[in-house]
Amino acid sequence: MTIALYPGSFDPVTYGHLDIATRALTVFDEVVMGVFDTPSKNLLFTTEERVSLIQEAIGDIPNLRVESYTKMTVAFARHINAKVIVRGLRMSPDFEREFEMALMNKKQDPEIEVLCMMSSVQYQFLSSSLMKEAAKYGGYIEDLVPEHVATALRRKLATK
């Protein structure tokens, strides 16, 4: 059984993230959406909130689960017996960043492969940061995130 890790901050999860995760399930036996607990960017949602939002979004999709982690991504991949790290690619700046991370991960553990999946066309522009900014100013986000995520996002932004 081949397990793949799809790591990220998922702050919050978008349809673009869910698209990559479900498409990865067509290639791998199991996909773990790994929610990185302490990324080097400012987060809107706590780790527990991000995990909960993803769990509700994925429902009972077979062989797709979510876990949080605090260690280095390759160490977490080894911990869950993942042989592959899945990453989504949007536009060219993503490629440069993902290429650097893939090389560093390969240096840390040569046994773990990195697979970059191209985002579906309708999600090429979508990032959590851009979506949060649109929501902050009352923009339309309903086709970018599940309904419960849009509700949680608006509630969170209203308290800031």
Which residues are identified as catalytic?
17, 41, 90, 128
106 class by beta-carbon count within 10 Å (0-12 exposed, 13-18 middle, 19+ buried): middle
Q: Are 106 and 35 in contact (CB under 8 A)?
A: no
What is the 3 state secondary structure string of 114-129?
Answer: EEEEECCHHHCCCCHH
Beta strands in 9-136 (DSSP E): 30-36, 64-69, 82-89, 113-118
Q: Are 129 and 94 in contact (CB under 8 A)?
A: no
Cβ neighbours of residue 111 closer than 8 Å, sequence gap 6 or more:
83
CA distance 71 to 7: 12
Residues in the chain: 160
